[in-house]
Structure 1
Amino acid sequence: MSTTTRRVKLANLVPDFYQAMIALDRVSDAGIDPKLANLIRIRASQLNGCSYCTDMHSLDLLHLGADQQRISLLPVWREARKFYTEEEQAALALTEAITLISVDHVPDEVYDLAASVFGEKDLAQLIALIITINMWTRVGVTGRMEPGHYKPS
């Protein structure tokens, strides 16, 4: 992998698209607990190999007062279930299924588990959030955005 290849900056070259992404991001997590939203963002970012987004949302979650151990165990959350609520486990399973959609096309058991834990509106909002973070990770990975520059507000 070449580190000398200059990558285009979508924010600079297609600002209308980038602003639309920002607007979509603002509405994608409406009503979702910010800690849960950031857990979802981190897990999708990890799966997609986006170091920038993983760093950003880990910092955001820490800023919200989350325990570092829960962030560290996120890649192996199934083996560390006691650290995650039933709602978080259902959301993480759905996040993985949607993020890795070409593997199993969101199995019914994963969807049904999420639907049993979240109301219909919350489930729809959760799906919107997962789709949105997957979009952002593609920007980060394609643009080779580097971690270490983000500061939580």
Structure 2
Amino acid sequence: MAEATPGYELPLQLFAAFRTIIDAAHADLAEAGHPDVKPMHGFVFQAIGARGTTAVELGVRLGVSKQAAGKTIAGLEKQGYVERATDPGDARRKIVRLTAKGIDMLTVSARSFDRIQAQWAETVGPERLAALQADLRALAPGELFRLDVPGWFNGER
């Protein structure tokens, strides 16, 4: 029987595994021409979605202020990942949407996560990885992807 480890190690081990995955994905992104994206940008791109969003809606989805969302949008716009356009349904509103570069970043990251998962399956075995994923679903039920993580990390939610 395995010896129990102190309880504080579990969140650190989970975070270390998360960090390992994210660092590997960002190495792939840098190699594919996206060296300037940050881990938070994945949440931002998902919150923008395929149809786009406003700065106010983005802030709400991410759990950050409108000002923080606006600053993030401005930075990503400068890097060519997003663009602002007039909302076709309301000419008074500006919509933020992903550019082709932003969509490419998402495509590259999806391939990277698939590659990393395959490597983990090779390391621990596909059955153990599937069991780990099932266990994590049981321990952390509910939404698989919480967009409000950036705000949560900053204590805003």
With normalisation by structure 1, the TM-score equals: 0.32
The structure with the largest alpha-carbon Rg is 2
With normalisation by structure 2, the TM-score equals: 0.32
For CA contacts below 8 A with separation 6 or more, give which structure has more relative contact order. Answer: 1
- The structure richer in strand per residue is 2
